[in-house]
Structure 1
Amino acid sequence: MSSTEQLKNDLTFDQVFKRIKTYGWYQVYFAVTIQLFCFCHAANFAGGLFSLGGLIPIYTCTDDNITAVYDKDFIVHNASAACQAIHACTNLTVENAWFSMYQEFDWVCQPANRISRLASFLPLAGAVGYMASGHLSDHFGRKWPAFIGICVSVFGGLINSVAPNWIIYYAVIVVQYLLQPMYHGAAFTLCMESVGSKWRIMQSFTFQYTLAFTYAGLLAYLTQNWRLNLAIVNALALPALVSFLFVEESPRWMVQKHRYKEAAKSVNKIARWNGRGDVKHTESDMKRIEMGSQAQKHHYNVFHLFSQKKLALYCLSQITTGICMSMITSSIMMNVQDLAGSPFLNISLVGLLRIWTPFAVIAMERYSNWFGRKPLFLGAQSLVFLLFATIIAIQVSGQWEKLHALATACALFGVAVEIGLVWVAYKTYTVELFPTVVRTIAMNLFSVSGLIGDVIAPQLIYLKYYWRPMPYAGAAGLCLLSILLGLIILPETKGKPMPDSLEEVKAGRLRKIDTNAAKELQLLSTETNT
């Protein structure tokens, strides 16, 4: 076989994206569309029952010239007595940061742990959704499951803005937890499969909530009402739904499904977006792309993720990190009233405190040979552990009131780094370690495991009334375990092509991109035109 024939057989998607521009206007368009959805998600989460929507007001009763104040701490520990006193009061004033669901739905008369129980049930619905959506997106594509999931999120938010009671509100949230996972897993995979390996780490920041949480905190402050907040944020997301319709299906997925003609059409559309309309790919070009022989003959499921020792160990590390991230995020966002300062400002700071992270990572990625996924993951996770350990030390030493502002700063910066840097490394590892045939199944399995953190966090928050450092201690412990597993198990994947089949993983295909790719691509172009 001649070198030219061998080159034809060895065509890869990294070479294809190099020809049509590894990062161009199409990838920018995709990134902007996803960011609009991030704005919607952040505002829905921040304004929901389990964050700002659950803020407990300060009730002040001035009957018989006696002033009685019922604040958060009293209500949580004496829910029944607070309910009776507040409802018996004839001269009652209510002070709250905004008009919350807690206030409107009269949650003061509900058991103190009901919100924690409701919050812990939702991940069970999410687990069902993630497991089903992983298979759906691997069998039916990335684009349309993602579109259905985001439609459920936006229209569910609009419905909840007029929910007559908390039962209807919660029922809609359950439906969202069942169907939204189709977006979260499929959209990230689609995004990463639509860019060359050189820019994957940059494109992963598309799903960051840096500006989104800043927007969420500001909008909550301006609206001062949970219903108005939900109506506005979801109405503003409607144009993004139209925008998503112009996103292309993953060429990688279509090749894996033998849909070579459609894959070529998708690649050519991306090329036109990027100003490379003169570069054409054909059905035969797509057939030349390397795919494992068994990748075309099986229907894959979650058990294939554990079919090799290497993949099983990757799963162990990723599952632990997923639980850790969810626990840290929930421990802060559901506990925002425990922090010093304005809750709206604290929500915004979660975004603002990580505004530097994309620039730092991209600079290190582009201009440093040693800085890859592993240093990013281990360095960021270690910083988070130290920040949460500091919070625990402040509380155990009895200096909480004196150093409340410092503890709040550690908490906010810790969660910003966790969902800024650690999240990027975690998600990038998932798409780079697991092959195309099981990639979204892996994404959704790890999202399911992450829900375990969402189940545990509300219970730890409730237990803080018995031992205050409990939420931070639980998060710090898992953070340390995540660091140890990552150090031992995870390889470096920077600059290496994503595998397409299980056979490639087994054979150890994580080779470096060929430095002579430009010459090879020129040869390919010449032969295609002859």
Structure 2
Amino acid sequence: MSYQIAEQVSSEKLFTIDGLIRLGHYTIFLCITTEFLVLSQLGNMFYMVYAGAAPTIKSCGTYKFNSSMSSSDICKQIYTLNGNETCRSELEYDFKSMNVEFEYLCHNSKYVKHSISIQMIGAVIGSLIFGQLSDLCGRKPVLLFCVSGCIIFGFISSFSKDLLTATIYRTIIGLFNGGQIAAMFVYVVEMLPKKDRIWVTTLISFSPNVILLAMMAYYSQNWRQLAIVISFLTSPAILLCILSYESPRWLIQKGRINEAQHVLKQITRWNGRNDVTNDMIDEVIDAEREILREKRNRKNYYIYHLFHTRQLTTLAASMINYGMLFSMEKLPGSIYTNNIMLGLIRYAVNVASVLTDYTQGWFGRRVAHTVPLALTSIGFIIHFIIICSGLSTELEIVSRIATLMAFAMMSQIYIITGMSGNELFPTPLRSMCFSFLQVVGRIGVVFAPQLFFLADFWIPAPFVALIMFALSDLVLYLIFIPETKDQPLPERLSTTTDSISSQLPTKQLMNS
């Protein structure tokens, strides 16, 4: 009797959605679509790296400033000079930012940082609203609506007459951008085989697009043209989203069985899988239909359901990543060179992680999260020691490399955090979970531009804060997040009974 039950369970699990979805032509189409979406997300999220970059003040009237002087010392000199006579500042900059055009210099530059924080609040709200909507209305319509909003308001924002107007438009863009980030990653994970999720989402990520954005900024030369270029180059995403299919996992979960059946047939045909027959697809659909029949009272899930399980942690990665990101002008060297170096280092780390993950079974999500955070902490500690020892000028290259290396590791942290969240939570909550992680992260982004104002009290203070964030993230992840590598995506929210049953031995389950 036990043998028959075991054989029946085995046959029931023979055909699953994970088994039907394989790499193929539709995967290539999905990757192209994802690249345009990621470029839109990164372009709008990193836009203020260039549009909010503070220029270097070379002189004030006839008074020339020494190149070794810090920006705070220059500003103090200007205040002293303005107390005696009014002088006009001569600026040096790589990119004509809002700071330059609207003349937000020295203490007034904080208004640009405040603008960035307000824009990030839009991303927080967007992650909440559209993350919920993508679970209720579908991944595809939310993605299409959000990327269209980013493109349209991107064009409009280029005509802003002042910082306030630009902040309003860019906050609306942040709203849509937060929504498409929350929906896209979940959609892509649901459409990929489990063993290919990491390498696809790593290769098509923010890292290589950091380099593309640096090139776009270099040829744009000012914040207005950059906004137009980003919107123009990402506009094909609208057509690609229209041509893409809805997630079959979401359709099945919502009881739209016939649509899910049609989508699975189309995807398998696109992928050129001749070994998948209609009977196999029908078997998967029938199994899911039976599950839905057993659920007499179908219900929607909301954010509070995320706390049905303990497997969630609040991460500090955003404070580290965006705290450094929106203060890139403080690093020595060209802002374009620094961002290209950053993109190359990030991508090299990502590719190395992908290769290790694909070939080494021991390299799971926990290891992939721990190693980069440890290196981040070491990089910031080195920079902190250099500042405290007063050797910033002599060890400028070492400091620059250590900081960029620490900063670059955050790319891997974002990928692993998002992947863990998606692999832990079932389909009804997956998009909501990712959007909640985005909300927590975006709260960090809101405060990140203000982080380097701590240097007004003590110069190394921002890096002390960054070290603390990195170490707390490291500890919290190791305590709360289990290993999820090579695990099938859960389709339903587990109950207390389910969790207890899952811990029973196989023999006991068969007897029961």
TM range (shorter): 0.7 to 0.9
Q: TM-score, normalised by structure 2?
A: 0.87
| 1:342 is aligned to 2:334 | yes
One-letter amino acid of the structure 1 residue matched with residue 299 of structure 2: H
Cα deviation digits, residues 165-221 of structure 1 (max 9, x gap): 222111011112223222111111010000111212123225512221111112222
Residue 489 of structure 1, aligned match among 472, 476, 480: 480
Q: What displacement does 1:103 show?
A: 0.9
RMSD value, Cα: 2.9
Corresponding residue SS for 2:393: coil
Equivalent-residue separation in structure 1 for 2:230 and 2:83 (angstroms): 36
Per the TM alignment, residue 146 of structure 1 is displaced from its structure 2 partner at its CA by 1.4
What is the match of residue 18 of structure 1?
Answer: 19
Q: How many angstroms apart in 2 are the aligned matches of 1:497 and 1:463?
A: 45
Aligned counterpart in structure 1 of residue 417 of structure 2, from 426, 447, 468: 426
- Secondary structure of the equivalent of 1:58? strand
Q: How has the CA–CA distance of structure 1 residues 5 and 485 changed in structure 2, closer, same or farther, with 3 Å as cutoff?
A: same
Q: Matched residues in 2 for 1:37 and 1:111: separation?
A: 34
Matched, 1:435 2:432: no
2:38 counterpart of 1:38: yes
Q: Is the contact between residue 96 and residue 221 of structure 2 (CA under 8 Å) also seen in structure 1?
A: yes
Partner of 1:499: 490
Q: Cα offset for 1:401?
A: 2.0
* CA gap 1:115/1:256 in 2 versus in 1, 3 angstroms: same
Which secondary structure state, in structure 1, belongs to the residue aligned with residue 208 of structure 2? helix
Letter in 2 for 1:410: A
1:213 aligns with 2:210: yes
User: Which residue in the other structure is 1:479 paired with?
Assistant: 470
Structure 2 match to 1:446: 437
Does structure 1 retain, via aligned residues, the 8 Å contact 2:373–2:474?
yes
User: In 2, distance between residues paired with 1:68 and 1:408?
Assistant: 23
From 174, 179, 185, the equivalent of 2:176 is 179
TM alignment of 1:367-516, pairs within 5 A? 367-419=359-411, 421-503=412-494, 507-508=498-499
Q: What is the identity, as a one-letter code, of the residue corresponding to 1:449?
A: V
Instruction: Say which SS state the counterpart of residue 347 (structure 2) adopts.
Output: coil
Deviations 1:285-327 (A, max 9, x none): 31313858559722111111112xxx23x22x2x2x2xx2111
Shift of the alpha carbon at 1:403? 1.7
Segments of 5+ residues of structure 1 without an aligned counterpart are 512-530
Cα pair 1:35 1:206 within 8 Å, conserved: no
Greater mean deviation of Cα atoms: 296-305 or 131-140: 296-305
Change (3 A) 1:448 1:2: closer
- Provide the residue aligned with 1:116 in structure 2: 113
Distance change >3 Å, CA 488–CA 61, structure 1 → 2: closer
Write the distance in 1 (CA, Å) between the matches of 2:95 and 2:201: 34
- Aligned AA (1:170): T
Q: How many residues align?
A: 493
- Range that drifts further, 210-219 or 440-449: 210-219
Distance across 2 between alignment mates of 1:287 and 1:84: 81
Matched residue, 1:143: 140
- The residue that corresponds to 2:287 in the other structure is 288
8 Å CA contact retained: 1:354, 1:417: yes
Counterpart AA for 1:297: R
Residue 77 and residue 208 in structure 1: after superposition, are their counterparts in 2 closer, same or farther (change >3 A)? farther
Structure 2 distance, partners of 1:395, 1:388, is 11
Distance 1:402 1:256, change over 3 A: same
Query: What's the secondary structure of 1:494's corresponding residue?
Result: coil
Q: Which residue of 1 aligns with 2:250?
A: 253
- Residue 327 (structure 1) aligns with: 319
CA distance in 2 between partners of 1:37 and 1:86 (Å):
51
Q: Tell me if the contact between 1:339 and 1:408 (Cα under 8 Å) persists in the aligned partners.
A: yes
- Could you state the TM-score of these two structures normalised by the residue count of structure 1? 0.85
What is the alpha-carbon distance in structure 2 between the residues aligned to residue 328 and residue 351 of structure 1?
16
Q: Distance in 2 between matches of 1:283 and 1:53?
A: 54
Deviations 1:15-73 (A, max 9, x none): 344345x222212221222222333333444442x54533224253445xx55689843
| Aligned mates of 1:298, 1:67 — CA distance in 2 | 69
Tell me if structure 2 keeps the 8 A contact 1:204–1:427.
Answer: no
1:391 Cα deviation after fit: 1.4
| CA shift in 2, pair 1:46/1:137, >3 Å | closer
Q: Please give the per-residue CA displacement for 1:53-101, whole angstroms capped at 9, x wherever unaligned.
A: 33224253445xx556898435655786688899754xx6432112221
Using the TM superposition, name which of 183-192 and 366-375 deviates more.
366-375
Which letter maps to 1:53? G
Cα distance in 1, alignment partners of residues 61 and 478 from structure 2: 60
On the 8 A contact 2:134/2:142 being kept in 1, the answer is: yes
- Distance across 2 between alignment mates of 1:197 and 1:145: 24
CA distance in 2, matches of 1:273, 1:83: 69
Counterpart in the other structure of 1:516: none
Q: Distance in 2 between matches of 1:295 and 1:156?
A: 44
Structure 2 equivalent of residue 58 of structure 1 = 57
Give, as a single letter, the amino acid of the residue that structure 1 aligns with 2:498: A
In 2, Cα distance between equivalents of 1:204 and 1:254: 23
Residues of 2 paired with 1:198 and 1:217: CA distance?
Answer: 32
Q: What SS does the corresponding residue of 1:288 show, helix, strand or coil?
A: helix
Aligned counterpart for 2:267 among listed residues 259, 270, 277: 270
Contact kept? 2:56, 2:92, Cα under 8 Å = yes
Confirm or deny: 8 A CA contact 1:381 1:479 kept in the other structure.
yes
2:356 — aligned with what?
364
Contact residue 129 and residue 181 of structure 1 kept, 8 A: yes
Q: 1:368 to 1:118 in 2, by over 3 A?
A: same
- CA deviations 1:244-277 (Å, max 9, x no partner) are 2222111111100011111111111111221126
- Give the drift of 1:354: 2.1
Structure 1 residues 412 and 101, CA gap change in structure 2 (3 angstroms): same
Aligned to 2:123: 126
